[in-house]
């Protein structure tokens, strides 16, 4: 199998610190010959701030032989400056990974996760078009299935899927491709989830490197996919789609027509193949259910409540 290389290309990865997915994306691309520009601002998952990790991330990458520079800045208010700095550093821009994230209130989460992804992409767009095969990877989340503790996060990550599909449509005439992933990985955000046993489970079965490997595949110039979304983690990848049932038709346009038809509306065409996940926990439960026996056994030991997984017989 021919190695997938990024020689001569430049990638901008936002939300890169010294641990987690942002750094894993940058490392994977750099290891395949890509020059990388990493960005951080210093927001955390409690809604607070800390010193940006830009310089430390660049030092880690450089120690591994990468050609990397850092740009500290806010993806919402300083998107143009961040992109301009990336282009100034290496003369071009081929890849954008919209990974920046933060906790906080509803507006902050929507700003960073959604507006930030849009504004970085918008600023980078002419450079990606000029490259002839620009690629955007937007980071969504299984939180888009419903995240009870973080409605802003859920709303933003759900909107990322629609943003990605739209970017793919707009980019098609110029050869620009956009995709999204819903990663499951050991990161600062997942480490902070207060479910007994959850952190150890994620750390054991969902290394960031597994997500970064598939991300690099999507970002490669020879990968034709665009407008797609994938749940990714632990070596498993599944396609995420927005689906409809065959539905039902009512001749009479009155509310009384629907009690007799609603079961038909809700019935999937192929019930054994359709998953309707009602929360991020339910999606993760189904996802792990298709993994190996050790992962399934360890997940069962976590004993997440059926109130959030919806799984019959869960303890």
What is the C-alpha separation between 274 and 197, in angstroms, rounded?
29
What's the pLDDT band for 276 if we cut at 50, 70, 90?
low
Instruction: Determine whether 153 is an active site residue.
Output: yes
314 or 43: which carries more pLDDT confidence?
A: 43
- Would you call 2 exposed, middle or buried from its count of C-beta atoms within 10 A (0-12, 13-18, 19+)? exposed
Rg (CA), the chain: 20
| Whether the Cβ atoms of residue 157 and residue 149 lie closer than 8 Å to each other | no
What's the pLDDT band for 73 if we cut at 50, 70, 90?
very high
Tokens of 169: 């449509």
> What pLDDT is recorded for position 152?
95
3-class secondary structure, 101: coil
Q: What does the pLDDT average to over 3-31?
A: 96
Angstrom distances, CA of residue 233 to CA of 110, 283, 306: 24, 12, 22
Q: Are strands 229-233 and 236-240 parallel, antiparallel or unpaired?
A: antiparallel
82 or 149: which carries more pLDDT confidence?
A: 82
Q: What does the pLDDT average to over 29-44?
A: 92
> What pLDDT is recorded for position 285?
85
Q: What does the pLDDT average to over 205-226?
A: 97
> What pLDDT is recorded for position 310?
64
Tell me the pTM. 0.89
Within the chain, all domains assigned CATH 3.40.50.720 are found at 10-238
| Whether the Cβ atoms of residue 27 and residue 61 lie closer than 8 Å to each other | yes
What's the pLDDT band for 112 if we cut at 50, 70, 90?
very high
Ranked by mean pLDDT, the top range of 18-22, 148-152, 174-178, 197-201 is 174-178
CATH number of 10-238: 3.40.50.720
Angstrom distances, CA of residue 161 to CA of 151, 165, 167, 168, 179: 16, 6, 10, 11, 9
Angstrom distances, CA of residue 142 to CA of 132, 139, 155, 177, 282: 32, 10, 11, 22, 9
What is the C-alpha separation between 286 and 280, in angstroms, rounded?
10
- State yes or no: pLDDT of 31 exceeds 70: yes
Q: What percent of the chain has pLDDT over 70?
A: 92
> What pLDDT is recorded for position 191?
72
> What pLDDT is recorded for position 71?
96
Tokens of 86: 């990336």
| Whether the Cβ atoms of residue 75 and residue 101 lie closer than 8 Å to each other | no
Ranked by mean pLDDT, the top range of 2-11, 37-46, 143-152 is 2-11
> What pLDDT is recorded for position 261?
96
- State yes or no: pLDDT of 313 exceeds 70: no
* Residue of 145, 153, 217, 249 marked active site: 153
> What pLDDT is recorded for position 315?
32
What's the pLDDT band for 314 if we cut at 50, 70, 90?
very low
């Amino acid at each position: 199998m021919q190695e997938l290389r990024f020689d001569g290309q430049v990638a901008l990865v936002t939300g890169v610190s010294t641990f987690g997915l942002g750094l894993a994306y940058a490392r994977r691309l750099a290891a395949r010959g890509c020059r990388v520009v990493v960005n951080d601002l210093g927001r955390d998952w409690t809604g607070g701030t800390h010193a940006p990790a830009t310089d430390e991330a660049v030092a880690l990458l450089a120690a591994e032989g990468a050609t990397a520079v850092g740009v500290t800045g806010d993806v919402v208010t300083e998107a143009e400056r961040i992109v301009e700095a990336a282009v100034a550093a290496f003369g071009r821009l081929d890849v954008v990974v919209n990974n920046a994230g933060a906790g906080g209130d509803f507006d902050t989460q929507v700003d960073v996760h959604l507006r930030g992804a849009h504004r970085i992409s918008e600023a980078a767009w002419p450079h990606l078009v000029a490259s002839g095969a620009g690629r955007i990877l937007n980071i969504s989340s299984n939180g888009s299935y419903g995240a009870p503790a973080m409605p802003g996060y859920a709303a933003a990550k759900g909107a990322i899927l629609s943003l990605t599909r739209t970017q793919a449509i707009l980019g098609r005439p110029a050869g620009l491709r956009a995709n999204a992933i819903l990663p499951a990985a050991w990161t600062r955000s997942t480490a902070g989830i207060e479910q007994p046993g959850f952190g150890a489970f994620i750390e054991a079965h969902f290394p960031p490197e597994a997500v970064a490997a598939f991300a690099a595949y999507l970002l490669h110039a020879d990968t034709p996919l665009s407008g797609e979304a994938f749940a990714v983690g632990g070596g498993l990848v599944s396609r995420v789609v927005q689906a409809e049932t065959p539905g039902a038709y009512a001749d009479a346009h009155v509310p009384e027509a629907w009690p007799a038809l609603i079961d038909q509306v809700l019935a999937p065409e192929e019930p054994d193949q359709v998953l309707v996940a009602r929360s991020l926990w339910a999606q993760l439960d189904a996802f792990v259910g298709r993994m190996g026996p050790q992962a399934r056994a360890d997940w069962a030991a976590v004993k997440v409540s059926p109130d959030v997984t919806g799984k019959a017989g869960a303890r």
